[in-house]
Chain A
Amino acid sequence: MIEFLQQVINGLSVGFVYALLALGYTMVYGILRFINFAHSDVFMVGAFCGFYFGRLVPAHSIGGGLLVILMAMLVCAALGIVIERLAYRPLRSGSNLAVLITAIGVSLLLENAGQLVFGADPKFFPELFPTKVFVSPGGLRVSSNQLLVFVVTAVLMVALQWIVLRTRIGTAMRAVSFNAQAASLVGINIDRVISFTFGLGSALAAAGGILYSLNYPSIDPYMGILPGLKAFVAAVLGGIGNIPGAALGGILLGLIETFVKGTRFSTYTDAIAFAMLIVILLFRPAGLLGKFQVEKV
């Protein structure tokens, strides 16, 4: 039982990070209907922001660590907005494929620029927060970094839910995702909403990057690729375009992966995430929480 709970805790700490990253994919998809391949690299830039900003604040302090996360989120939000403005907006009226390719181009650009600026060799991520391991009477171990992942992610998700459901800009986001043309007819500035969506998603990716690096402290310019792919899988699993679905998908994926890692099939972990996805898509193509749309002729 203890072992099971331990796996649940480990799985959740991975899954929450996937969820943060998946939210960015799902929000962009909900509004623009395209896969933002560069999102995983914004995640990487977020982790490197944490690496460099971490030098400016005292190590092992909660306030300093949170400040680093906040700064990284701001930098990445700006980065996301710039990417959208320069690489995606000019093609918005064109086909989805063209945007897909520029997204891949931006992704390559960030990875290679990262290699040049940060260096290709893996870096050791600093310990921003106080590190401690709490052991429960039964032997259940929770590290402070894991707790931090839970708390920060929960706060960010609640904040996101509040923004999307309770603010003007959030209402506008939902309207654009429902029907962009109708939204612009009632006076919503679509460009602004899309910029805001990219900023929001990228900020979450940055937070995810730092939280991920706290638990897996080796960072390099290509670190985003696999978590990015998996987070995308998570977004589809939950029903792409659906915000609670992305969170659910991320958490589920993290849990399943951790449980598979505990069995003798551990070397198949990466494959099983995708196999799950395929099974879900074949039987419930809209994802777990997505709405199935009937094709009209």
Chain B
Amino acid sequence: MNRLKTALSTWPKAILLASLLASFVFWLLSGRLDPYYLDVLTKIGINVTLAVSLNLINGYTGQFSLGHAGFMAVGAYAAAAITMFAGPKILSHAPANLLESATVCLFMGALLIGGLAAAVTGFLVGAPSLRLKGDYLAIVTLGFGEIIRVIFRNIDSLGGALGLNGIPPYTNIFWVLAVAAICTYVVLAMVHSTYGRGFLAVRDDEVAAEAMGLNPTRYKVVAFVVGAFFAGVAGGLYGHYTLSIDPRGFGFMRSIEIVVIVILGGMGNTGGVIAAAVILTLLPEFLRQLDQYRMIFYSLLLIILMLTRPQGLFAWKRRPAPAPGA
């Protein structure tokens, strides 16, 4: 733990820069990469972003959220709405020789606004419901996730139940990996800062944290807002990758998938969560040859993994897990 802390405090930005550079190199090479591998890598990148951001809420701050897909939906819809409805107007004003950079700026802006929209939603959801604890919070966030989905199903200008189709294909491997790197950096830098110790304090013992003069509600809301922001950005990337989004894609099972990654990676262990995101995204791909038995093996593996390593795949040191309701 200490060594990680030193490493982070001496060259955290260097690590971030290196990963950004690596994403750029991947993008340069992406033309030569097998499209199938590129597809899998994109999925991994998006899942890493989602899982690392959820880990800030569930792992580090110990608040059990089951509504991450809802924030993802907000980001996906907001970003897609911007590139689809405002995008053509903005791009028509751009000079022809700058069209490409204008598109990049547009996409970046759309992702940011998607993230901000999700962050605002996160605040609106978090501020009232974070008074609840454990299982109750889980249920409320689950409820909010479902409500967000139903609301999108009912907004006709956003396609209603059919969803949005024909989203421009702006997402490429650079964006996906860069966002995953930035998200990881922000979460780690936050948690390992002086301020960020408060997240861990709130997780370990809320009453004690409060007695020390910390404001637990504020920490929880901050974790929620930051987590929701990155979920929103990941949603924007997802929408501009699949090119069509509909409310069914952001259901309760999607949230569960992300929670499973976080728990299998070991709550509050970013390295483990990233590894779990990679493994759990690859697993269905490896199981593809099993064809119709694929999902059965996937669920069986999930049960067996949990029975044999309940503390998470990569938690070598046993630490008291933040049990909901405890």
Contact = CB atoms under 8 A, between A and B. Distances in A.
Interface of A: 33, 35, 87, 90-91, 94-98, 100-102, 104-109, 112-113, 115-116, 225, 229, 232-233, 236, 240, 267-268, 270-271, 274-275, 277-278, 281-282, 285, 295, 297
Nearest to B161: A267
A101 B260 contact: yes
Contacts of A100: 263
Given A270-B150, A281-B139, 19 more contacts: A35-B135, A87-B307, A90-B307, A91-B310, A95-B311, A98-B310, A98-B311, A98-B321, A101-B302, A112-B298, A229-B146, A233-B139, A240-B135, A268-B154, A271-B146, A271-B151, A275-B147, A277-B143, A278-B144
Nearest to B304: A105
- With a 10 A CB-CB cut-off, give which of B142, B263, B292, B306 has the most chain A CB atoms: B306
A282 to B, nearest CB: 6
A282 B131 contact: yes
27 contacts: A35-B135, A87-B307, A91-B306, A91-B307, A96-B325, A96-B326, A97-B267, A97-B321, A98-B263, A101-B259, A101-B260, A102-B302, A102-B303, A105-B300, A106-B299, A116-B296, A229-B252, A268-B154, A274-B143, A274-B146, A277-B140, A277-B143, A278-B129, A281-B139, A282-B131, A285-B132, A297-B207
B315 to A, nearest CB: 11
B323 interface: yes
Contacts of A281: 129, 132, 136, 139-140
Contacts of A115: 295
A283 to B, nearest CB: 10
B321 A95 contact: yes
A54 B170 CA distance: 54
Contact of A102 (B138, B147, B259, B307): B307
Contact of B140 (A33, A101, A278): A278
Contacts of A105: 299-300, 302-303, 306
B129 A282 contact: yes
Nearest to B320: A95
Nearest to A120: B292
Given A108-B295, A274-B143, A101 B306 contact: yes
- With a 10 A CB-CB cut-off, give which of B131, B144, B302, B307 has the most chain A CB atoms: B307
Contacts of A102: 302-303, 306-307
Interface residues of B, number: 45
Contacts of A274: 142-144, 146-147
B136 A285 contact: yes
Interface string B248-291: 00001000100110011001000000000000000000000000
B293 interface: yes
B153 interface: yes
A268 B293 contact: no
Contacts of B136: 236, 281, 285
Interface in B87-136: 128-129, 131-132, 135-136
A282 B259 CA distance: 24
A237 to B, nearest CB: 10
Contacts of B153: 267
A65 B178 CA distance: 60
- With a 10 A CB-CB cut-off, give which of A100, A236, A270 has the most chain B CB atoms: A100
B296 A112 contact: yes
